[in-house]
Amino acid sequence: MKLKVEEDMQQSFDLYFVSSNYHKYQEAKNILDSFGINLGFFKHELEEIQSLSLKEIAAKKAVHAFQKYKKPIIVEDDGLFIDSLSGFPGPYSSFVFNTIGNKGILKLLKRNRRAKFVSIISFCNNKNSKSFEAKVDGTISKKQNGQGWGYDPIFIPKNSNKTFADLSNKNELSHRYKALKKFSNWYLHNLESNDL
């Protein structure tokens, strides 16, 4: 993977995705490719402020990432919010996944399995700093299904009976897709009018 990241840095990109999570970058790249936006990757563990607001966390990460790389960047912060757990793990989703994983989440749930996935895409360059939010409602499955990463094997989007990990078209309906679509519309419009 190191070689691939170094290769990416040799090319010319419209903007860069900054994250320690290569899976997120690959999804974001595939989605933005469909909008004609060429996305590069900087692998970096961004410092995360303690906040109950995903938007605030993502916006701060974006500013820090731009200050480090001095290139137009986007970062994503996302969270799984489970109704019966009062929105937990929410902004702590990454920490909770790394601590108790999907098995731990499944053990916490009883009858009410309603949940939502929220994604915030934050953009920053030397002129603009802007965030885009999207969500997908759904439920938590009773067991893990599929080989996806993160919470994908336990999240079933509304109007589906399959988890994100089992869906071949996840990138066309996920919270990440919706947030990146909002970002792309704004970015391409501002690019055309030379506002970037």
Q: Write down the catalytic residue from 8, 33, 77, 195.
A: 77
Band of residue 11 on the pLDDT scale cut at 50, 70, 90: low
Question: Residue 127 carries which DSSP code?
Answer: S
pTM: 0.89
| Contact assessment for residue 173 and residue 117, using Cβ atoms and an 8 Å cutoff | no
Can you tell me the distance from the alpha carbon of 56 to that of 79, in angstroms, rounded to the nearest whole number? 13
Percentage of residues in the chain with pLDDT exceeding 70? 94
Share of the chain residues as helix, strand and coil, in percent rounded to the nearest 5: 40, 25, 35
Q: What is the mean pLDDT of residues 188-192?
A: 89
pLDDT at 8: 46
The string of pLDDT tens digits covering residues 18-27 is: 999 999 999 9
78 is catalytic: no
pLDDT at 10: 52
The string of pLDDT tens digits covering residues 63-116 is: 999 999 999 999 999 999 999 999 999 999 999 999 999 999 999 998 899 999
Assign domain 2-192 one CATH number from 1.10.10.10, 2.40.160.20, 3.90.950.10, 3.30.870.10.
3.90.950.10
What own/partner pairs with CB < 8 Å and gap ≥ 24 does 51-54 have?
51/91, 52/90, 52/91, 53/91, 54/78, 54/79, 54/90, 54/91, 54/118, 54/120, 54/133
- CA torsion angle 110 114 117 118 (round to 10): -120
pLDDT at 6: 45
The string of pLDDT tens digits covering residues 110-162 is: 889 999 999 999 999 998 899 999 999 999 999 999 888 899 999 999 999 99
Q: Helices (H) and strands (E) in the chain — how many of each? A: 6, 7
Q: Which two tokens stand for residue 24?
A: 């997120």
Question: Do the strands 155-157 and 15-19 form a parallel or antiparallel pair, or are they unpaired?
Answer: unpaired
